Chains A and B, each alone.
Chain A
Amino acid sequence: MHSTLEFLLHHGYVVLLAWVFGEQIGLPVPSLPLLLAAGALAGTGHLNFFISLSICVFAAVSADSVWYALGRLKGIKVLQFLCKISLEPDSCVRRTEGVFSKQGARSLLVAKFLPGLSTVAPPLAGIFHMRPRRFLLFDAGGSLLWAGTFLGLGFIFSGQIERIAEHALSLGGWLLVLIVGVLASYIAYKFIARQRFLRELRIGRITAAELKEKIDAGEDLVIVDLRHSLDFEADPETIPGAFRMDAKELQEKNDRLPRDREVILYCT
């Protein structure tokens, strides 16, 4: 354990750069504990606060620029891919697009504080062709705010964090077991909940071929396109005869849906 600490102290900036870049590119490695630790190390004089901050901003903007470029090149498919690998894909697209459409470029300032939005906001900026200079300005601002906040908190509470770290280190190998156990339990819980949700939905799903047959047979259906308005800008095509309805609106005004007709819902 001592050698690990020595390694962190000697290669702190490299670890910080790699870790923040890894998290921002989409790896499941939370940066928050590391930022707090780096702040605490800056508070005790082992690291330089401003160098740490600059490295974090550089790493975050570099990773975000990759997603931004992919968003510009590949369009909405990048967002769909990100949401597919998310543990909560059912709400992922709608939630992130909702925040982005309300706040625009300003959402990049707060994105890193919101789980799920952090990785998705840069490709969204690319998908909707935000100007590169504007993207870099707001993304750097958001990265500075995010890294500055947590490095700053670590710096201010360096004494307390040091005591917590000492207690944690006294647990030895059990600390690693505890961290891995909590993380694995969280992922397992989300996975099981999602499988249960999909199992319930699968019962009533309709395939594209079945829907086509019903349309061709002239059945009186209500087809509702639930995609967010931003999706239409990127991909304006829809199933013929479909009505567009915002998910929130559908939830609020569901009493106006016809009960005597079959209702087909779809999104991306």
Chain B
Amino acid sequence: MALLLRNQGIRRIRPLQGGLDAWRDKGYPLANVALTQIWS
């Protein structure tokens, strides 16, 4: 997805290495909230 968007001109895009699991494994905080969409 990141590669696709980058090819479509969004240059400042970076995928998170290891995804949510990597974040969780580090013990960083997590939110348990109803997420909203970026343009809603």
Residue ranges of A at the interface with B (Cβ–Cβ < 8 Å): 80, 197, 200-201, 204-209, 211-212, 222, 224-227, 232, 235-245, 247, 249-251, 253-254, 256-257, 259, 261-268
Contact = CB atoms under 8 A, between A and B. Distances in A.
A268 B14 contact: no
Contacts of A206: 14-17
B14 A262 contact: yes
B2 A201 contact: yes
A235 B19 CA distance: 14
Interface of A is mostly: mixed
B29 to A, nearest CB: 6
A249 B16 CA distance: 19
Contacts of B25: 208
Given A204-B15, A238-B20, A262-B14, A253 B39 contact: yes
B12 to A, nearest CB: 5
Interface residues of B, number: 34
Contacts of A267: 19-20
B13 A204 contact: yes
A206 B28 CA distance: 15
Contacts of B3: 197, 200-201
A164 B18 CA distance: 48
Contact of A238 (B12, B14, B22, B31): B31
Nearest to A261: B12
A263 B16 contact: no
Given A208-B23, A240-B29, A241-B31, 7 more contacts: A80-B21, A211-B23, A232-B35, A243-B35, A262-B13, A263-B14, A265-B2
